[in-house]
């Protein structure tokens, strides 16, 4: 991670084929295309790789979450349970359709705590949205059981975990809907892009229409298409899809590189008694996009993070103080800083997150360091990095 590190001839070939047609839009212009339909090809390849019936490409991971929620009929006043540790896109997508984000504690998986989820359910709850942050998954079996008990949708945000699996199923395919991001820094990239996957034919149809202004895509005359319901423009371009089509063909190779590099780093840190590792639920396998480990307390985590940076070890993150990924810095959500007036249901129902007790999340996040696993490292570079990280951590505890 990220796939752009290994751009090559496959990506160039796919993009050039689009440029030679001059058709950059995924819909229409049939006669000019010369048989090139990159978005359709990528949707087919993605559905096959993720072992689902349907895939719908969109313009970003944020768009994917928004379209997925809308496709399932989620709207104003509906509550969506999400974790305190994620990317801001999670609550942005919920707010975009007038629904209410309900933040819930994470546990040692760094994802939704099932017990906290059950406590947060109200009569307005419609969706549980686990976010498979940094390459690993939530306790999906427990969450699916909760959703079944309360008749809720399980929407997997797998934007950071493509290629991971749970009980042999690709992440994103375990719930009712799954979402991916293909932005510039993801394991496979379109430059910008995202996707919704599902086995539900109605959700697929809704996502197809909703992401293109409500067009029903019936017939070959775009101007004659009807609009069964309101929609918006969340389309992906043929150029972006072309890059993704090359990259998905390389996904298994990328995952193998990530696992190899991850394993070298983890083995080096496993020799240090003060280091423990994120829990991966039984039956799950990470995508190995990040190595996530815990230190004994917040002070030691901060000290180690600073020492790693000073020692020249880049791409290690301390999310506890991060503006984008942890609830503590989401003042724009807490204070509802919006350019315009939001739906009344949001003002009425949004919890006061300035007063909410998320100490259970703080317990884990305050101790966590995440190290990005790069695809472009040479083996000697990984070995040297592993030794340097181990040396730095041992020095901290001298």
Strand ranges (DSSP E) for the chain? Answer: 54-58, 79-83, 100-104, 125-128, 153-157, 165-166, 169-170, 177-181, 194-198, 276-277, 284-285, 290-294, 316-317, 368-372
Q: Single out the catalytic residue among 38, 126, 144, 186.
A: 186
Full DSSP string of 8-74: -HHHHHHHHHHHHHT--BSSS-GGGSTT--HHHHHHHHHHHHHT-SEEEEES-HHHHHHHHHHHTT-
- What are residue 137's phi and psi, to 5 degrees? -110, 165
- The rounded distance, in Å, linking the Cα atoms of 180 and 60 is 8
Active site residue 38: no
**For residue 46, which of 186, 187, 251 has the smallest C-alpha distance?**
251
- The SS3 call for residue 146 is helix
List Cβ neighbours of 352 (8 Å cut-off, separation of 6 or more). 334
Q: Report whether the peptide linkage leading into residue 70 is cis, meaning its omega lies within 30 degrees of zero.
A: no
Residues forming the active site: 186
């Amino acid at each position: 991670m990220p796939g752009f590190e290994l751009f090559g001839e496959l990506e160039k070939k796919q993009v050039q084929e689009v440029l030679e047609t001059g058709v950059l839009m995924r819909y229409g212009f049939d006669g000019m295309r010369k048989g090139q339909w990159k978005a359709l090809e990528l949707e087919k390849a993605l559905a096959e790789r993720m072992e689902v019936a349907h895939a719908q490409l969109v313009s970003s991971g944020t768009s994917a979450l928004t379209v997925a929620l809308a496709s399932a009929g989620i709207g104003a006043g509906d509550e969506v349970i999400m974790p305190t540790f994620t990317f801001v896109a999670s609550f942005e997508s919920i707010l975009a359709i007038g629904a209410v984000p309900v933040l819930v504690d994470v546990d040692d998986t760094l994802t939704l705590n099932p017990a906290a989820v059950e406590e947060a359910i109200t009569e307005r709850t419609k969706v549980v949205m686990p976010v498979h942050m940094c390459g690993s998954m939530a306790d999906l079996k427990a969450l699916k059981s909760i959703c079944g008990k309360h008749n809720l949708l399980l929407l997997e945000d797998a934007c950071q975990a493509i290629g991971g699996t749970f009980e042999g199923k690709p992440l994103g395919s375990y719930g009712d809907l799954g979402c991916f991001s293909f932005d510039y820094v993801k394991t496979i990239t379109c430059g910008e892009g995202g996707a919704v996957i599902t086995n539900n034919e109605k959700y697929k149809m809704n996502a197809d229409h909703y992401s293109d202004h409500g067009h029903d895509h019936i017939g070959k005359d775009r101007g004659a298409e009807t609009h069964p319901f309101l929609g918006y423009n969340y389309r992906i371009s043929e150029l972006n899809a072309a890059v993704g089509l090359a990259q998905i063909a390389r996904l298994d190779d990328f995952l193998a590189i990530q696992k190899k590099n991850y394993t070298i780093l983890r083995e080096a840190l496993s020799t240090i008694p003060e280091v423990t590792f994120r829990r991966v639920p039984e039956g799950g396998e990470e995508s190995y996009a990040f190595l996530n480990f815990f230190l004994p307390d917040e002070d030691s985590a901060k000290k180690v993070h600073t020492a790693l940076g000073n020692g020249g070890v880049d791409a290690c993150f301390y999310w506890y103080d991060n503006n984008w990924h942890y609830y503590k810095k989401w003042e724009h959500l807490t204070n509802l800083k919006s350019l315009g007036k939001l739906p009344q249901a949001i003002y009425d129902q949004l919890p006061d997150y300035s007063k909410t007790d998320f100490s259970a999340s703080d317990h884990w996040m305050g101790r966590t360091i995440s190290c990005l696993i790069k695809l472009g490292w040479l083996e000697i570079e990984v070995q040297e990095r592993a030794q340097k990280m181990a040396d730095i951590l041992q020095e901290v505890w001298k």
